[in-house]
Amino acid sequence: MSQTRSELAEQLHQPYALNEAAIAHYRKNGYVKLRQVLSPGVIDFYGSEITRMVRTMNTQSKPLSERNTYERAFLQIMNLWTKDELVREFAFSKRLGRIASELMGVTGVRMYHDQALYKEPGGGITPWHADQFYWPLSNNNTCTVWIPLQATPIELGPLTFSVGSHMIEAGRELGISDESEKKIAHNLRDFPLDEGPYDLGEVSFHCGWIFHRASPNVADRPRAVMTIIYMEDGIKLIAPKYKNHENDWASWMPGARVGEVVASPLNPVIYSAASPVNG
């Protein structure tokens, strides 16, 4: 029997049984992969709408052969939650927000932004990088949930994590580029890799400073992924150090003030331990 929208939406707010081993793995290694976080019904229903919105909002028209490394990595559509009611329903999942909060050991999380990352058939690598290079935030309590909208075998290009690399600082000054792929790979040569596939419903959470990449999509279908970036409720805006910091401030935290808590209309609270999980 097919489930109704309200039944699927309810699943997005039910607590996930996060165990201490998963929390310990995240804090030691900088990431964790969790199985059966989302049901096939939730992925199918909301994933179809996310894909529709990606097709509607995509402005990339150049063939892959004419794009640079970053452009070949994926189609990147940001803050879909502000454009579509169903995507907003998905992005505001208290289930996912609570997991991020508990992994980081904070009492609540706000939205930084969401983004769909669709690696097209024939799409290239996503070079080594750490996300928090782009974020002008006062501490490291940031976390991204990476949600494949299909089972993701190696040929589709799942994430590869450099296990424990959030503990080193070399390479943090590099954005996604050919340079970052080369230099960070050299820095990480002694770190183990986790480059395994994702089952349907399996998602990963990774901290802002862990180095990660993705291999090319050599399949004949897109790798559809939705991501949501969380930050600690109470985190502050810092003075920009890079041009990318200025861009992120203007795009994702408009009106926020340096030295003050980030709480713009684009940064709503997604989960707070002070409120009911399914409220």
Name the amino acid, one letter, at 153: P
pLDDT tens profile 79-95 = 999 999 999 999 999 99
How far apart are the C-alpha atoms of 217 and 119, rounded to whole Å? Answer: 7
Per the CB < 8 A criterion, the answer to whether 140 and 235 are in contact is no
What is the residue whose two structure tokens read 């989302």?
Answer: 38
How far apart are the C-alpha atoms of 205 and 31, rounded to whole Å? Answer: 5
> Per CATH, is 5-266 categorized as 3.40.1690.10?
no
Confidence of residue 1 (pLDDT cuts 50, 70, 90): low
Please give the distance of CA 227 from its chain centroid, rounded to a whole number: 4
- Write the DSSP symbol of residue 219: S
| pLDDT for 279 beyond 70 | no
Q: Which residues pair with 225 in a beta bridge?
A: 148
Kindly state the average pLDDT of the residues 91-111: 98
- Check residue 214 and give its pLDDT: 98
How far apart are the C-alpha atoms of 61 and 152, rounded to whole Å? Answer: 25
How far apart are the C-alpha atoms of 152 and 222, rounded to whole Å? Answer: 10
How far apart are the C-alpha atoms of 152 and 199, rounded to whole Å? Answer: 6
- Write the DSSP symbol of residue 236: B
Confidence of residue 274 (pLDDT cuts 50, 70, 90): confident
| pLDDT for 112 beyond 60 | yes
Kindly state the average pLDDT of the residues 143-169: 98
In percent, the amount of the chain with pLDDT more than 90 equals 97
| pLDDT for 222 beyond 90 | yes
Radius of gyration of the chain (CA): 18
- Check residue 203 and give its pLDDT: 98
Kindly state the average pLDDT of the residues 24-47: 98
- Write the DSSP symbol of residue 143: E
| pLDDT for 107 beyond 70 | yes
Prediction pTM value:
0.96
- Check residue 42 and give its pLDDT: 98
- Check residue 2 and give its pLDDT: 84
| pLDDT for 277 beyond 60 | no
Per the CB < 8 A criterion, the answer to whether 211 and 109 are in contact is no
Kindly state the average pLDDT of the residues 205-213: 98
Kindly state the average pLDDT of the residues 41-60: 98
| pLDDT for 137 beyond 80 | yes
pLDDT tens profile 60-83 = 999 999 999 999 999 999 999 999
Per the CB < 8 A criterion, the answer to whether 131 and 175 are in contact is no
**Residue 251 to residues 97, 144, 271, Cα–Cα distance (Å):** 22, 18, 22
| pLDDT for 55 beyond 90 | yes
Per the CB < 8 A criterion, the answer to whether 236 and 137 are in contact is yes
Signed CA dihedral, 182, 183, 186, 189: sign only: negative
- Check residue 209 and give its pLDDT: 98
- Check residue 235 and give its pLDDT: 98
Kindly state the average pLDDT of the residues 187-204: 97
